[in-house]
Amino acid sequence: MHSLYVYTTPANSTHTSPTLIINKHDPGQDGTVETAGPLSDEEDINDYKQGGYHRVQVGDSFHDGRYVVEAKMGWGYFSTVWLANDTLMKRHVALKIVKSDPHFCKSALEEIELLEQAQTAGNGSHQHVAQLLHHFWHDAGAAGGGGKHVCMVFEVLGESLLSLMKRFNYRGLPVNMVKRITRQVLDGLAFLHDTCGIVHTDIKPENILICIPDVEDYLEKQKRPSQPRRFSSSSTLLLDSPATTPVSDSSGRRLVKRKMKRQQKRTEDPPLGGKQKSTNNLQQIQSTLSSLSLAVPLDSSSSSSSSTTASLPTIIRSSALDCTALMDDTDDPDNQADDEAWHDRITVKIVDLGNACRIDGNFKHVIQTRQYRSPEVIIGMIWNDRADIWSLGCLVFELLTGDYLFDPRADTKYGKDDDHLAKIIELMRVLPRSLIIGGDYSREFFNQKGELRHAKTLRHRRLRDVLHDTYFMPPEQADGISDFLSPMLEVDMTKRASANTLLKHGWLDL
């Protein structure tokens, strides 16, 4: 992805302007985190070459004519993704075509191995983990740019939780919706962790996608003449421009959020603080989800390569699809029961096992997107499946509030990792001795007294107080959320709750 690098001034330099501190062990390209500037709308045309993308046109067929391309869905650093008609199974699928370079093919084959392992362990697909339907090799030939490409066939899913949050203007989702989403993600993680022995390593909003109950009906609605439409030279399917530009980097998100807040009058109640009329809430949800996009798991950037990742598709969507795809028609929109019924129908799936690892691998390498990174990863300890739980705790807070729980910044006196640890200590108050001395980078962050070497003055706040004072949640609600999140954000990973344990927590009850 597009990355912004800021280096400290060399000792012999005459340049004296303040510079940001970069932690020595920070790879600089840790997943999809250190980003600046907008994501490109299209892949680089120069990557259509030997070892690069496969040139695809609408109408092209793959695997002896089984898959016929109908439209482009999106692209990632090492693949493009296409909506295709599976003529054998009579359904639409997402066809992911990986670059032909051996490095990318190897990564794709490793992902396929984990996906197949998950399906074997679960005796088939899991309802909250994206399903790999098929995979095969495709020889592009001279016309396609040369080389052999790994092709992966996925089910077609809706857009990500990041898009959902954005449509709510980053002001938080309805609590019951968050509870349902959280339960489903925990269910998927329990399957990956306990049944498959797999750590996802990159739980974040972009990697949780909303299911479309009936994809074929959805696509049929797009084809109806009454729908607003635009034809693309690269596709014969009815297309619309994306409702919003994907923003996965923190700086871009802050700009968008400030703009949205300026445009929105703050005369209504706080998003989570008080009761809202069911009519308004339901109408907001219907409006918010009226343009859900089709999506597919794209690429995870690896820390070993500079990469551009489009976490959201940019082409297929219907401006006229309303919530009837997710809820039955209701006779009385003022009825709160209708609102709650809609919450009961949202379904999500975990996607993108491109960076997943075996639990028993004794890994120490940097994983997770910055804002969702666990403390044991930051300091260089061996991590396990509990790293996913930490990420989910950060994600749940974000779904409820619209804000990152931890969004560290570098300064002239400390790096992002220093600030990240400081923010964790401010919220959780104390780090265990094992964490202070047990990591490969512990001495970089802590002095002999166990104090942070470079961080700013700490301002301790309880999670409950943050929810109540900053987000105006009623005390009882703030207590409940804090009680649920605290075991997920346990700094000592050996004491952090498992997915199965969290599934039994009372806060998830609707």
Rounded to 10 degrees, the C-alpha dihedral 380/382/386/388 comes to 60
> Is 332 assigned a catalytic role?
no
Query: For residues 58 and 231, what is the distance between their CA atoms, to the nearest angstrom?
Result: 12
Do residues 353 and 200 make contact, with C-beta atoms less than 8 angstroms apart? yes
Q: How far is CA 443 from CA 196, 400, 420, 438, in A?
A: 35, 36, 16, 9
- Mind giving me the DSSP string for 410-439? --SS--HHHHHHHHHHHHH----HHHHHHS
Do residues 406 and 394 make contact, with C-beta atoms less than 8 angstroms apart? yes
Strand partners, 348: 210
Pick the catalytic residue from 26, 202, 339, 388: 202
DSSP-based three-state secondary structure for 131: coil
Instruction: Provide the phi-psi class of 356: left if phi over 0, else alpha when psi is between -120 and 50, else beta.
Output: beta
Query: For residues 200 and 189, what is the distance between their CA atoms, to the nearest angstrom?
Result: 8
Q: How far is CA 427 from CA 124, 374, 403, 447, in A?
A: 41, 14, 15, 20
| Inter-residue long-range contacts of 145-148, CB under 8 Å, 24+ positions, other chains counted | 145/48, 145/49, 145/50, 145/52, 145/53, 145/54, 145/55, 145/100, 146/49, 146/50, 146/100, 147/50, 147/51, 147/54, 147/100, 147/101, 148/100, 148/105
Which residues form the catalytic set?
Answer: 202
